[in-house]
Structure 1
Amino acid sequence: MTSFTITEILDDLRAADETTRRFERRYWLSSADFYELYQQGLLDDGEHTEDFAMWAAYHEIKQDRELTLQQLSDERKKRLRRQYRGGSIQIDPREPAVSD
């Protein structure tokens, strides 16, 4: 079982976002639209094969980390609501580790 922190999730997201943005600027296409064409096998398999494989991989990493972050946030919000006893909710800023 792998354990990671919210900081690691956010760092992965930042790196994936920077990389996908670079490809979006280069090819003038959103990552979502690129990925749809890539998954359908409609893109050339010539001189851009390496770029496309890397772009697809970083797009998948970004999607995975965004999903993980949302799940973690949803779980934390549920715990906070269960602990609510009136007044205001106190959020402890200590970073929990997440198990995958």
Structure 2
Amino acid sequence: MAWLILILAGLLEVVWALALKQTHGFTRLGPTVLACSTALLSFVLLSLALRSLPVGTAYAVWVGVGAVGVTLAGIVALGESLSPARLAFVALIAIGIVGLKAVDT
């Protein structure tokens, strides 16, 4: 269950990071509320996952899920660059996440 909570926390990190971009320096109320509320919920879920997962593993997975998710969302939804090198490095992050899960079980 801790892993599911951790993945959900990472996905919420994607939401708050994307919403943060839309705040335009916290000058737009809707995106600001979304960014702050999802960031808080992401932190709460991370803290719940830390009850049974090692902090190093949990933090690395949380950041990794967020980084991969934001990068892919940026490519798909925001028209950010799509290069083979960028995809290769994102794949390395994803492999690291899977590896951490594999060694934790």
Fold match (TM-score > 0.5): no
RCO higher in 1 or 2 (8 Å CA, sep ≥ 6)? 1
TM-score bucket of the superposed structures, by smaller chain:
0.3 to 0.5
TM-score by length of 1: 0.35
Q: Higher strand share goes to which structure? A: 1
Larger Rg: 1
**Larger helix proportion of the pair:** 2
**TM-score normalized with structure 2 length:** 0.34
